[in-house]
Structure 1
Amino acid sequence: MSRIRQHNQHLILEAASAEFAAKGFDATQTRDIAARAGVPKANLYYYFQSKENLYAKVLLGFVEPLLAASAVLRESDDPIVGLQAYIAARIRIAREHPHIAKVFSSELLLGARQLPAECRDLLYAEAQRNVECLRSWIDRGLLAPVDPQHLMLFIWSATRTYTNLGWQMAHITGQKKPRDADYRNAAATITRLVLGGVVPEVAQAKQPLMFAT
């Protein structure tokens, strides 16, 4: 891929993410995406063929960091280390990819009707691996006997709040958008709530909690 092609595709994807995040798929116009990207409208169709294909590429661009975050969960055999790293990684995604995160969350809230089958398959397989990892820790007595599926759902919902509830977050913090400190505090708070509910006190005493994003 030539540098010019790669650069133009990046500009279009960034612009599309911002437009889809602000207006949703149906209300977004390709001419507005092209204008925001600073490229001719014809370039958008040359690189992506349709608005639907462009939307799918935006969604796929968020799936990749989600898969990387999930891999972090299973890198350590210690649930304290794994869960801390996983929560921090998911919060980091929300901080580094705010537009795509909002587009992805909105798509899920609408029933994932336009989520490409490729994305569905990847996310489903990764979710199953994560649940099995939690179940293994539970079976070995490293975590409290909770339902691993609902534990995973709780982590997902808690970390996704920072993309879904922008207005509410601004109202609570008094800031137009979350600051780096807000993301750090979010990771620390969610981690403390999760580990406080599922990790035995003895294990917590042996492995002090360290919060970072």
Structure 2
Amino acid sequence: MSRIRQHNQHLILEAASAEFAAKGFDATQTRDIAARAGVPKANLYYYFHSKETLYAKVLLGFVEPLLEASAALRESDDPVTGLQAYIAARIRIAREHPHIAKVFSGELLLGGRQLPEECRDLLYAEAQRNVECLRSWIDRGLLAPVDPQHLMLFIWSATRTYTNLGWQMAHITGRQTPDDRDYQRAAQTITRLVLEGVVPDGGARTKGLMFAT
């Protein structure tokens, strides 16, 4: 791929992420994406052919960070280390990819009707591996006997708050958008809630943890 082509595609994807995040798929116009990207509208269709194709590409761009976050959960056999890394990684995604995160969350709220099949397959398989990891820790007595599926759902919902509840977050924090300190405190708070709820002596084990995101 030529450098110019790669650069233009990046500009279009970044602009599309912002437009889809602000307006949703149906209300977004390709002319607005092209204008935000600073490229002719014809270039958008040359690289992506349709708004649907471009939307799918935006969604696909969010899968890799999610898979990396899931891998962080299973890298250690210690649930404290794994859960801390997983929560920090998901908070980092919200901080580093705010537009794509919002687009992805919006798509899931609509039932994932336009989520590409390859996304579905990858995310389903990864979710099953994560639940089995939690179940293994539970069976070995490393975690409390909670439902691993609902524990995973709780972590997903808690870490997605900073994507979905921007208006409410602004009223709580007094800032229009969360800053780095907010994200760090979010990771710390969610980690403490999870570990103190499901890890034996979880409160004692969280006292010396570092919570960089």
TM-score (norm 1): 0.98
Per-residue deviation, residues 159-204 of structure 1 (Å, max 9, x unmatched): 0000000000000000010000000000000000000100001794
State the partner residue of 2:170.
170
State the partner residue of 1:51.
51
State the partner residue of 1:126.
126
Please say if residues 195 and 206 of structure 2, whose CA atoms lie closer than 8 Å, have aligned partners that are also in contact: no
Does 1:18 pair with 2:30?
A: no
Q: By how many angstroms is 1:210 displaced?
A: 2.6
Amino acid at match of 2:95: R
Please say if residues 21 and 100 of structure 2, whose CA atoms lie closer than 8 Å, have aligned partners that are also in contact: yes
State the partner residue of 2:63.
63
The residue matched to 2:113 in structure 1 has which SS?
Answer: coil
Find the aligned partners of 1:64 and 1:204 in 2 and give their Cα distance.
Answer: 34
State the partner residue of 2:35.
35
Please say if residues 88 and 212 of structure 2, whose CA atoms lie closer than 8 Å, have aligned partners that are also in contact: yes
Please say if residues 80 and 207 of structure 1, whose CA atoms lie closer than 8 Å, have aligned partners that are also in contact: no
State the partner residue of 1:160.
160
State the partner residue of 2:95.
95
Amino acid at match of 2:78: D
Find the aligned partners of 1:8 and 1:206 in 2 and give their Cα distance.
Answer: 45
- For the aligned residue pairs, the C-alpha RMSD in angstroms reads 1.3
Quick one: percent identity of the two aligned structures? 88
Please say if residues 144 and 198 of structure 1, whose CA atoms lie closer than 8 Å, have aligned partners that are also in contact: yes
Does 1:117 pair with 2:138?
A: no
State the partner residue of 2:195.
195
Alignment: residue pair count: 213
Q: By how many angstroms is 1:211 displaced?
A: 1.5
Please say if residues 195 and 202 of structure 2, whose CA atoms lie closer than 8 Å, have aligned partners that are also in contact: no
The residue matched to 1:113 in structure 2 has which SS?
Answer: coil
Find the aligned partners of 1:71 and 1:26 in 2 and give their Cα distance.
Answer: 34
Runs of 4+ in 1 over 3 A off after TM superposition: 202-208
CA gap 1:202/1:94 in 2 versus in 1, 3 angstroms: closer
State the partner residue of 2:82.
82
Q: By how many angstroms is 1:212 displaced?
A: 1.6
CA gap 1:98/1:202 in 2 versus in 1, 3 angstroms: closer
Does 1:186 pair with 2:158?
A: no
Structure 2 unaligned regions, length at least 5: none
The residue matched to 1:143 in structure 2 has which SS?
Answer: coil
Find the aligned partners of 1:172 and 1:197 in 2 and give their Cα distance.
Answer: 25
CA gap 1:202/1:211 in 2 versus in 1, 3 angstroms: closer
Amino acid at match of 2:129: R
Structure 1 unaligned regions, length at least 5: none
Find the aligned partners of 1:157 and 1:20 in 2 and give their Cα distance.
Answer: 21
Find the aligned partners of 1:79 and 1:203 in 2 and give their Cα distance.
Answer: 14
Q: By how many angstroms is 1:208 displaced?
A: 3.7
